[in-house]
Structure 1
Amino acid sequence: MRARTTTVAALAASLLLGAAAQAQAPQSLRVISPIFGQLVSFAMPSDFVAAFENTKDGHYIREAVLKGETPERWTQMITVTGEKGMTLTPGSSPQIFAGTIAGGFKSACPDSFAARPFGAMTFGRFEGFVAVIGCGRIDSGPTRHSETALLITLKGATGYYTIQWAERGPESDEPPLNDDRWQARLHDLSPIDLCPIMPGEAAPYPSCVNKR
């Protein structure tokens, strides 16, 4: 009888802990931003806040970090970028664009770079490519650390866009590419899509919010 009581108590405690963890999980907010002629739409966890934004010479970037962190000192960052008119570049594709970004990572850590492609995907009606890339050891930031990112590239009507969810951790021989959290984060960012900018429409962009 004592064993049964203990088992029931342990099960009850486990259920309570599971419910508490679920209650503490951050909710997601639909983020829709006009960037170079299209609306970029995705879901962002509510514990992230925008910390930096800039547009210069056909390049757009916005960085969001966890509440309490900064663009200089962060553990996780969600970055959105846009490249104006890039679809006119001969031979361009979401996979090639992802490879260019991966090359930038590799130049920062040639001895500990690794990549894991998830492959070509479609977001709405737009072509994309998804991969996990990272450095096991990198010296940018306050201390040496690993830096790994889920990289999503999208080919828009005239420009290219990326959504990146990066995380810093302890330095290692190679970044944690095979962790299940990268697939989970791709799911957390979904639905990802590009919408047309409708004349006279302002935020919250109902034509994109209600898109099916």
Structure 2
Amino acid sequence: MRPPTTATVLAASLLLAATARAQAPQSFRVISPIFGQLVSFAMPSDFIAVFENTKGGHYIREAVLKGETAERWTQMITVTGEKGMTLTPGASPERFAGTIAGGFRSACPDSFAAQPLGVMTFGRFEGFVAVIGCGRVDSGPTRHSETALLITLKGTTDYYTLQWAERGPESDEPPVNGERWQTRLRDLGPIDLCPIVAGEAAPYPSCVNKS
């Protein structure tokens, strides 16, 4: 039997590498204790966390595409928590989303747009989903558009948000319509909140195994 040629070995190596990439997970489940609950969702595998901070009753974590930074990015997935917000009179996921949208509007009053996707339920928790954006903002190295899928969640005691933002060329109106936002909503799922079990550590099997 003749030994394999260099070309044969190379072809086999390339095939194995391609197979490994094809079998690699396209996302991984993120479960994080944030104030009173565990926040669970699917993170695309090409994102990596670059910033996390808790200050008083506010929590934030930002993830960007691998190779990008918290200052220079094209896409960012942000998780936030607002401690005890369910006690705020009149609070609702829709009103919370409106407050965040108002912050966007103040940054770009002449190029703001929004597309509500409506009230939704995640697990047994009430939420609201919208797409909001600015056609022209000056933050970062250059003027650009910034559009975000916004998900607000009312937890047992706290409120949470998930935002998948994208920067692009400046325009008169940000691209708030389009199938890609529905696709990204599906890509983040399943989104849910789980109770924190005393003494349980990562990977939080009680939430992983939740039906």
User: Normalising by structure 2, what TM-score?
Assistant: 0.89
CA distance in 1, matches of 2:176, 2:100: 16
Letter of the 2:71 partner, please give it. E
Match in the other structure for 1:152: 151
Query: Does structure 2 retain, via aligned residues, the 8 Å contact 1:123–1:193?
Result: yes
Separation of aligned partners in 2, 1:39 and 1:100: 24
Counterparts of residues 39-54 of structure 1 (less than 5 Å): 39-54=38-53
Q: CA RMSD in A?
A: 1.6
Q: Is 1:128 equivalent to 2:146 in the alignment?
A: no
Structure 1 consecutive aligned stretches of length 4 or more whose deviation exceeds 4 Å: none
Contact 1:153 1:161 survives alignment (8 Å): yes
Partners of 1:132 and 1:25 lie apart in 2 by: 30
Q: How many residues align?
A: 193
Q: Which runs of 5+ in 2 are unaligned?
A: 1-17
CA distance in 2, matches of 1:157, 1:96: 17
For residues 23 and 83 of structure 1, the distance between their equivalents in structure 2, rounded to whole angstroms, comes to 38
Corresponding letter in the other structure for 1:202: A
Deviations 1:117-167 (A, max 9, x none): 000000000000000000000101100000000000000000000000000
Aligned-pair CA distance for 1:179: 1.7
Q: What is the TM-score with the length of structure 1 in the denominator? A: 0.88
* Contact 1:105–1:134 (CA under 8 A) maintained in structure 2: yes
Partners of 1:136 and 1:172 within 8 A in 2: yes
What residue is the counterpart of 1:109 in the other structure? 108
Instruction: Indicate conservation of the 8 Å contact 1:26/1:47, yes or no.
Output: no
Letter in 1 for 2:88: T
Matched letter for residue 113 of structure 2:
A
Q: In the alignment, what sits opposite 1:118?
A: 117
**Shift of the alpha carbon at 1:26?**
6.6
> d(CA) in 2 for partners of 1:203 and 1:125?
22
1:129 partner amino acid: F
Structure 1 position 29 matched with structure 2 position 24? no
Report the identity percentage: 86
Unaligned runs of 5+ in 1: 1-18
